[in-house]
Structure 1
Amino acid sequence: MVSAELARDVVGITGNVISLFLFMSPVPTFVQIWKKKSVEQFSAAPYLATLINCVVWVLYGLPIVHPHSTLVWTINGAGTAIEIVYLLLFIIHSDSKKRLKVLLIVLAEVIFMAVLTILVLTLVHTTKKRTVIVGIVAIVFNAMMYAAPLSIMKLVITTKSVEYMPFFISLASLANGVAWSAYALIKFDPFILVIHLPLSLAYTHVFVIAVASVIFDMGL
């Protein structure tokens, strides 16, 4: 009989693979940006939200915060590196106004993480309490990551085009949520579970894109 620990590791590795696909799913978007040398109407919001989300989860998964969470900090470490590359490309191909805005947000994220890390590691002295504090912060930023792609919905409605709506990011987010929900249920982790089980935003996003594509293709 398969042990719960082994099952959790298998599901966690599966979740990591899906998460990696999620992080890589914007590649076609950035190939387009690179070819056109412009970000056009693409938004940096999903990448900024994913960056801060990944960094918080790296902190959460460290042994000094939440022991035995190697799969959590490794995949989010990879995600952090990938998002940095995306944001560098976005900054390079943005106009000055958009570039400054992105740089200021990144700076704010760096300052926030530095303050959070210092406060948690110096003022909180048990891993149990550190887990709770960082876990709550992680929930907030994970919700932002799932919500960020919806920021482009107004543009889709206005232009009647789904060109700038990141479908594959939404689809990968959905699969990612299912895998990590299973991971959190096998060995109960409320912080991982609470952010991945309620997938209404991802479901809504994919549904809206599918319906919009059909409507726009019909010329309505």
Structure 2
Amino acid sequence: MQSDILSHLQNKGRKKVSLGLLGEVIFMAAIVAITLLAFHTHEKRILFVGVFCDIFNILMYASPLTIVKKVVTTKSVEFMPLYLSLANFLNGCVWTAYALIKFDIFMLVSNGLGAFFGLLQLVLYAFYYKSTPKHGGKEVKPSEIQLPVSDTASRV
């Protein structure tokens, strides 16, 4: 019985991932088609794709900041991943340095903002780290929480 439920949940998860991937492929194909059909010069295509990529790059860098309200109200960084914030900051810094070398404005804008957003996350983490409650000497992360699984199927 429980293995049927687990199998159903796994199939449901696979369907969700497959639909998400299919949506991304369709979205990417639409962007390529728009770029090739609507913009006839190389400069216009670069501008369109550059701005489009900048928008999504900024959204990627800013997405961990959605937890800021929860961190400030609870005065806890329990749900704010340190390594993601650190990786965002370092990635933004490296790509900003590269953009300055090549002076690519598209890379400079989005990755400069990414480095800034990563720095904000790290400052926020440092500010609220001491006030974060500890659970039994070890912080419990959402990824470490697991559902209990019965071993009755293995006994049969």
Per the alignment, do residues 103 and 154 of structure 1 end up closer, same or farther by CA in structure 2, a change over 3 Å counting?
Answer: farther
Q: Does 1:215 align with 2:131?
A: yes
Q: Which runs of 5+ in 1 are unaligned?
A: 1-90
Q: Does 1:200 align with 2:116?
A: yes
Whichever residue aligns with residue 187 of structure 1, its letter is: K
Aligned to 2:26: 111
Whichever residue aligns with residue 202 of structure 1, its letter is: G
Residue 172 of structure 1 deviates from its aligned partner by: 1.2
Aligned counterpart for 1:122 among listed residues 27, 37, 41: 37
Per the alignment, do residues 217 and 211 of structure 1 end up closer, same or farther by CA in structure 2, a change over 3 Å counting?
Answer: farther
Whichever residue aligns with residue 123 of structure 2, its letter is: F
Secondary structure of 1:139's match?
helix
Once residues 210 and 188 of structure 1 are traced to their aligned partners in structure 2, the CA distance between those partners, rounded to angstroms, is 32
Task: Indicate if the aligned counterparts of 2:89 and 2:116 stay in contact, CA closer than 8 A.
Answer: no
Alignment of 1:152-167 (within 5 A): 152-157=67-72, 159-167=74-82
Alignment of 1:79-158 (within 5 A): 108-157=23-72
Looking at both structures, which has the greater relative contact order when contacts are Cα pairs under 8 Å and sequence separation is at least 6? 1
Larger Rg: 2
Aligned to 1:183: 98
Q: Tell me the percent identity.
A: 42
Once residues 206 and 106 of structure 1 are traced to their aligned partners in structure 2, the CA distance between those partners, rounded to angstroms, is 31
Which TM-score applies when normalising by structure 2?
0.64
Residue 179 of structure 1 deviates from its aligned partner by: 1.2
Secondary structure of 1:216's match?
coil
Once residues 64 and 74 of structure 2 are traced to their aligned partners in structure 1, the CA distance between those partners, rounded to angstroms, is 17
RMSD: 3.1
Alignment of 1:38-117 (within 5 A): 108-117=23-32
Which TM-score applies when normalising by structure 1?
0.47
